[in-house]
Structure 1
Amino acid sequence: MQDKPSLNRRNFLGNITKAGILGAIGLSPVARVAAATTEEEMREAEKAFTEGEHAFLCQPYLQNPGPTAMTVMWMSNKPTYSWVEYGETNALGSTARNIQAGIVDSYDRLHSIRLSNLKPGTTYHYKVLSKEITEFRPYKLTYGETITSDTFSFTTPAKNPKEVSWLVFNDIHDRGADSFPHLMALNKDPYDFVFLNGDMFDYQEDEQQILDHLLTPLSKTFAAEKPFLFTRGNHETRGKYRRELANYFDGPYIFAKQWGPVHFTVLDTGEDKEDTHPVYAGIVDFDEYRRQQAENLKQVVLSPAFKKAKFRVVMMHIPHYYSGDWHGPMECRKHFGPIFEQSKIDLFIAGHTHRPGIHQPVAGQHSYPIVIGGGPKDGNRTLIKVKATEKDLSLVMLKDDGSEMGRVDLKSKRG
């Protein structure tokens, strides 16, 4: 099954370099491949990737949900040819792989396969398979072991659902192995997806950090059967691996999405300091980035989907109020605040401050509730739960001991 082009990570060295699997002594396997100058050296270098047991580095996780499509992503520890088997029963029966310009994606460790032509509101069962490629020559390809995941299931959104429910996490700060399962256990209600509202990390150093602190705990906790969406916080703009982070998700940090009665607008707020601050060393331009988003936002709020939605919800990491007078929050207020007011949004959800709170509308500032999730430390962590029908929207913020911190209840202003 041919599908959309996947992310830009198909070059062998570019892909393997992202692994972050450096040797403790001498040259790493990555460096050995890069330094090889003869066929013999290349064979010896690539042999480093065939040693040890072939295994998945994380369970599959779901991305970019739609009524007729779902993306399945996962990672293996060896370069492979990979595919997804799926169907409406445990017998599966269909196979999906990515094809670009006649070439099937392969010799990868990070896998992203879009299942398309699905039925809305339908449960599908699936498993992922990765066949190791032990040798890849121009005229000879040798396969090794094939590994297979457990069988999981997911349900596609209905075409025009009457309600939608979602959960929000923010400011986990590299504590995902503990915080994700703990906070998820507080939820007892059905939900359609999870939204990660920035600062999942302190900064990005390598792939192992992404696996250990995000992908592995998420896939073990829920993400093999429920999709998650993600936008950056200011801490996701830091570290030498920051540019590669986007490769691990199917979807941009900025998007507008209609799901039943709710129109979601998600923005990427960038850094909280001036672009000229010494810590950025002259290699950021978030002021222009926010200005461009504001121009795009002006078009989003003119769209029929936005205008007709029963509820208009904005989610972004840095709140434009209740976040002090730092440069980033004030830029967000200048660029985004007037558009939020003019377009009459109904609800705003953010994080960043580590000071959880629900701020009701204030005349002359914001005409909608501003909800700010908590921080990473025990006792300050929060789970935000939201459910919307065509008439009502309810939001509940829970502390990490399960007690209710506050809530928002709204009626639709659009009949």
Structure 2
Amino acid sequence: MNKNIINGPYLLDPHDTQITVAWETVASEPFKVTARAADGTEFFGDVCCRQEEPCREYPKGAFLYTAVIRDLVPDTEYAYMVSGNGEVAAASFRTLRREPQSIHLLTLSDSHLFHNNEAFKKAVTEEKPEIILHGGDISFGTGYQHDQYKDNWFHKISEILARTPVYYIHGNHDDGPFYDAFFAAPQGRTVHTPDGGNTFSFDYGPAHFTLIDSNPWGLFEMNAVNSEVPLDPETRRHIDDILRWVEEDLTSPAARRAKWRILMMHHPYTDSFNNRYIVPIAERCKAQLVLGGHLHYYVKAVSVDPKVGARTVYVCEGSAQDPEAEYTKNTGEKRLLSEFPEVVATGRSNYGILDVTEKTLTYRLYGFLENGSKKLVDTICLTHDEPDIRLTDIELRRLDNNGNVEIRALAENRGTAMAEVSISLFDNKMEHTINLFGNEENSQVVTLEPGEKRKVESVYQAMQPGEHLLCVGDTELRLVVFEPTQLSFAHMRVQPGRGESADCMVAGIEATNNLDHEIFVSVPLYINQRIAETKSLFFRAHEKRYIEFHYKFQQGGEYQVSIADQLPKEVSIEGGIRIIPRILDKSGRGHTALLHGSPKVREIDGHMEVALEQYGDYIEIPASRDLEAPQGFTGMVWANIERLARASEMGHNPLMVRGKSVGWGATYCLRMVVERTGGLKWGICHDITEYSWQGGEAKVGSWAQYTMTFDKKAGGDSYCDGQQLAHVAGVSAESEIRQWADQPIFVGYSYIGHVIPDIGRPKYFTHLPGRIGQVRFYEQGLTAEENREICENPEAEGPKREALAVWLDFRNILKVGTHTTEWRHPAIYNTSFKTQKKYWRFTQLKARTNLPLQAGLKATVEVSDDMATVKGSRQIVLKNGTNYVDLSGLPEAQFLRIVTEFSAEVGPDGTFVPELLSYQVVASNGRDFTDMFWSTRPDWERGRFTGAVGFPPVDRLRDYPEYTDVIHG
């Protein structure tokens, strides 16, 4: 083996008369590539060389060589050699057959760390595929890390790659120069491509393959949307160009001649942008199979359009990384993916075997077991025959006078391939196709394999008032439809206010007038099952309108909200105030941190630590423009990570994060997280690029200093106890590091997943189970020497003192505070009250609290006539729960305020904080009386806060099951 060769040789873009050989070297030298047939005939490759981008291992940049060997004989075995300076790398390949009647391929995606490599090599050896298709995400970190490709791909299956050609497409983790150097550029020399080898097509046997780079929308447009920035015009043009080329390719003479049209890209059918861009093209151009990856589990779907059905099948391959083999078929009870009724199976798989003849396409999905053996997960069989679904035992049953009819039938697939069940119903001779079955909320597509039977049921509504004759097959039902319900409702949304409107809520719904004439109706808003408001509205015949309620709450808390006949949704209105212990900042910059939850704070062996044990335990460094670091920064966390995430928990456990999400978009400024496998992930985002990298393993069960530093010019570096773990190159001076200055820096907590526009955050959150010993943040990137000096002397200020913006002092935690309400008049203040000496009597205080035994709350009720002089006061020690206090001993007055003293306990037994939920004061004036409330955020904010009193965060420990967000790699 040539010692200069560091990766390869590996094979690309096979044909019947040519193939591409590629290899990577440390240094450039003259190479020769020779292919020799069994009869001794030699063929020489056309060699070219390209220098790569510099990286940590090769600061001057390694060299990528390719050799295209042409004029070969089809279906022939060749031994080939790559020779240079007298040394040789040798292997063999077989050219493709010319116009074969059948083809045999292997597919995989998301190989990442590729722990399955040994089992995969065995599977390839057994299957002997002519071509391998890789659906992207070779890297586990980023395409800006050279070692990711060397360690996770080339060195793990080098013998396979030297003998079996592979086609590659971009994954989101592959974005960067090294994927381009290894795969896109060499492919681009010979494939049919519009963009240099990222998107391309080829024909083999009875199939036309179109491989699409979905990153421009699945990564970059998604990043822009999640990052709340406009997509740049260049990327928009690139997306339009790719989509235009794909449709032209699928309608080309070659594609039209092919018996099968197969699409492959990294992002799956369920990706919102793929669903918007690729699905219409695939179905319009009659592609039969669309392959994706990215989700790390298996998904099988068909078209939701009954005219297409299972003529187009969508498959998301599972991850090839770890052994997994599972299968779940839809049963009709609940959708497998809530927003995709057309998903008919899910599971886990590692690779696929694709066999294609002129008449059939068979796709077998396999997973590996822990012992390395393979297990068949699913088989998809397609033919060109028309679907043949037979319906028997058909029943039509009237449900009400509004035209709702239940349809039941036994469906049997008598065809030769998987088919989607659909029912043709004739309503007064007008045909309606029904392909969603089950209850409305979980209605779903049903597919049957050849010979399979299944009972299906659905509901059809005859809309027009009058007589109807419904026919399904030979089964008929006559019914009279009365005038329908005036209004029907759908798509109810409930959104709490923020800031000054935190005591408000917006609730909206779409209403439809189902009648043929105008109506004037009232639509009710329900709060906790009681009518809170109504809107009287005029609707024209069959008008559809969005109705919106704006409601102001008097008290904070949890409320059930519904409109008209819809099921209620829960809304949280910010209410109480509490002690949130403040960790003081030794940097001198005043970036006091908040201690959330009930963590233990203790001293062990002379060092302070904060134990984050529960999901609500974490540290928050509040958002501040003073923490912006446009040229670079450094984050440091001393931590003892006690365990990794369990299978039932979210991964990406956060050491330090700033941004709207820990991933899935350019949604963060900095990221230091622990994968559920123990690997460490790091990253920044610049412009609309998520610039992340992988490196190192967490020291589970022992203390370590974890550091991430980034500088635009020097790049990014990661360290554990001063030892460098990973490095990525810098970015251009014009690039803008996303600051997310309106977001806190979290230690031990983060949101995770895609940002959902309706709620302005991801669906999920993630937590770090561990102990924190020290936290620092610098507004500059530190060098390895500077980081090592701080690691070795953690109690000292260390270098770059001027850049140190946060240095938390766990010995100095503020745990007391005071809230003083504004002076409040019981009713609208009228100056005549003062001249007439018409005073108010304050008779009772009702206070609601959450008060642990270790914490305290003291209230002083004060009254005044001029909001300056206290006329009288009453001191109260509040207890846990609801307190009723007699205030009749206070003198009559014009104004009242309440001063509340809070005290918490923070120590080795945990953090115990008092929470004041509400005050209610009853005031009377002659025959009139009123209630004065302090119970919502705007109520409290009209007063004055001192010390550690503040508002608990809203919804940080809540998931939103009503939204679909598939967490993936």
TM-score by shorter chain over 0.5 = yes
Larger radius of gyration: 2
1:148 is matched with 88
* Separation in 2, partners of 1:65, 1:162: 17
1:120 is matched with 74
* Separation in 2, partners of 1:389, 1:165: 9
1:315 is matched with 264
The CA deviation at 1:86 is 1.6
Q: Contact 2:268–2:316 at 8 Å: present in 1 too?
A: yes
Hey, which of these two has a bigger chunk of helix by percent? 1
Aligned AA for 1:126? Y
The CA deviation at 1:99 is 6.5
What per-residue deviation string (whole Å, max 9, x for no partner) do you get for residues 86-114 of structure 1? 211285644334369xxxxxx97321111
Q: 12, 16, 38: which one pairs with 1:89? A: 38
Q: Contact 2:135–2:169 at 8 Å: present in 1 too?
A: yes
* Separation in 1, partners of 2:275, 2:14: 31
1:180 is matched with 117
* Separation in 2, partners of 1:395, 1:78: 43
Unmatched runs of 5 consecutive residues or more in structure 2:
50-60, 188-196, 325-347, 387-969
The answer to whether the aligner puts 1:198 opposite 2:136 as a matched pair is yes
Q: Bigger shift: 185-194 or 249-258?
A: 185-194
* Separation in 1, partners of 2:25, 2:48: 19
What per-residue deviation string (whole Å, max 9, x for no partner) do you get for residues 263-310 of structure 1? 101111113423254499988965443322111122112211111111
* Separation in 1, partners of 2:128, 2:178: 33
Hey, which of these two has a bigger chunk of strand by percent? 2
Tell me: CA distance 1:285–1:149, structure 2 relative to 1, closer, same or farther (3 Å). Answer: same
1:394 is matched with 362
Tell me: CA distance 1:413–1:219, structure 2 relative to 1, closer, same or farther (3 Å). Answer: farther
The CA deviation at 1:165 is 1.2
Q: 265, 278, 297: which one pairs with 1:336? A: 278
2:213 is matched with 268
* Separation in 2, partners of 1:92, 1:125: 11
* Separation in 1, partners of 2:7, 2:41: 22
State the number of aligned residues: 327
SS at match of 1:313: strand
1:157 is matched with 96
* Separation in 1, partners of 2:166, 2:11: 7
Aligned AA for 2:257? K
The CA deviation at 1:347 is 0.9
Q: Contact 1:167–1:383 at 8 Å: present in 2 too?
A: yes
* Separation in 1, partners of 2:143, 2:169: 14
Tell me: CA distance 1:55–1:92, structure 2 relative to 1, closer, same or farther (3 Å). Answer: farther
* Separation in 2, partners of 1:108, 1:353: 33
Tell me: CA distance 1:390–1:68, structure 2 relative to 1, closer, same or farther (3 Å). Answer: same
1:289 is matched with 238
Tell me: CA distance 1:338–1:211, structure 2 relative to 1, closer, same or farther (3 Å). Answer: same
The CA deviation at 1:248 is 0.9
What per-residue deviation string (whole Å, max 9, x for no partner) do you get for residues 9-38 of structure 1? xxxxxxxxxxxxxxxxxxxxxxxxxxxxxx
Q: TM-score, normalised by structure 1?
A: 0.72
* Separation in 2, partners of 1:315, 1:181: 25
1:64 is matched with 13
The answer to whether the aligner puts 1:384 opposite 2:329 as a matched pair is no
Q: Contact 1:291–1:335 at 8 Å: present in 2 too?
A: no
Aligned AA for 2:180? A
* Separation in 2, partners of 1:217, 1:90: 33
Q: Contact 2:297–2:349 at 8 Å: present in 1 too?
A: no
Tell me: CA distance 1:160–1:284, structure 2 relative to 1, closer, same or farther (3 Å). Answer: same
Tell me: CA distance 1:168–1:234, structure 2 relative to 1, closer, same or farther (3 Å). Answer: same
2:177 is matched with 243
* Separation in 2, partners of 1:108, 1:331: 36
Aligned AA for 1:378? P
Tell me: CA distance 1:209–1:406, structure 2 relative to 1, closer, same or farther (3 Å). Answer: same
Identical pairs, percent: 20
Q: Contact 1:275–1:284 at 8 Å: present in 2 too?
A: no
SS at match of 2:180: helix
Tell me: CA distance 1:274–1:207, structure 2 relative to 1, closer, same or farther (3 Å). Answer: closer
2:315 is matched with 371
Tell me: CA distance 1:97–1:333, structure 2 relative to 1, closer, same or farther (3 Å). Answer: same
2:253 is matched with 304
Q: Bigger shift: 255-264 or 371-380?
A: 371-380
Q: Contact 2:26–2:62 at 8 Å: present in 1 too?
A: no
* Separation in 2, partners of 1:274, 1:77: 35
The CA deviation at 1:382 is 1.0
Aligned AA for 1:189? E
The CA deviation at 1:58 is 2.7
Aligned AA for 1:395? Y
SS at match of 1:331: helix
Q: Contact 1:306–1:312 at 8 Å: present in 2 too?
A: yes
Q: Contact 2:108–2:352 at 8 Å: present in 1 too?
A: yes
Unmatched runs of 5 consecutive residues or more in structure 1:
1-52, 101-106, 132-145, 324-328
Q: Bigger shift: 278-287 or 344-353?
A: 278-287
Aligned AA for 2:317? G
2:384 is matched with 412
Spell out the pairing of 1:24-39 with structure 2 (5 A cutoff): none
Tell me: CA distance 1:79–1:305, structure 2 relative to 1, closer, same or farther (3 Å). Answer: same
The CA deviation at 1:85 is 1.7
* Separation in 2, partners of 1:108, 1:90: 36
Aligned AA for 2:98? K
* Separation in 1, partners of 2:364, 2:154: 26
Q: TM-score, normalised by structure 2?
A: 0.32
* Separation in 1, partners of 2:12, 2:131: 10
Aligned AA for 2:368? D
What per-residue deviation string (whole Å, max 9, x for no partner) do you get for residues 150-202 of structure 1? 3x2211112211111111111122x13x3233224235323111011011113
* Separation in 2, partners of 1:276, 1:411: 40
* Separation in 2, partners of 1:361, 1:399: 25
SS at match of 1:274: helix
The CA deviation at 1:311 is 1.0
SS at match of 2:144: coil
Q: Contact 1:275–1:286 at 8 Å: present in 2 too?
A: no
Q: Contact 1:81–1:108 at 8 Å: present in 2 too?
A: no
What is the root-mean-square deviation in Å for CA atoms of aligned residues? 2.8
SS at match of 2:254: helix
Q: Contact 2:33–2:47 at 8 Å: present in 1 too?
A: no
Tell me: CA distance 1:78–1:90, structure 2 relative to 1, closer, same or farther (3 Å). Answer: farther
The CA deviation at 1:362 is 3.5
Q: Contact 2:323–2:367 at 8 Å: present in 1 too?
A: no
The CA deviation at 1:229 is 0.4
Choose between structure 1 and 2 for higher RCO, CA contacts under 8 A separated by at least 6 residues: 1
Q: Bigger shift: 195-204 or 287-296?
A: 287-296
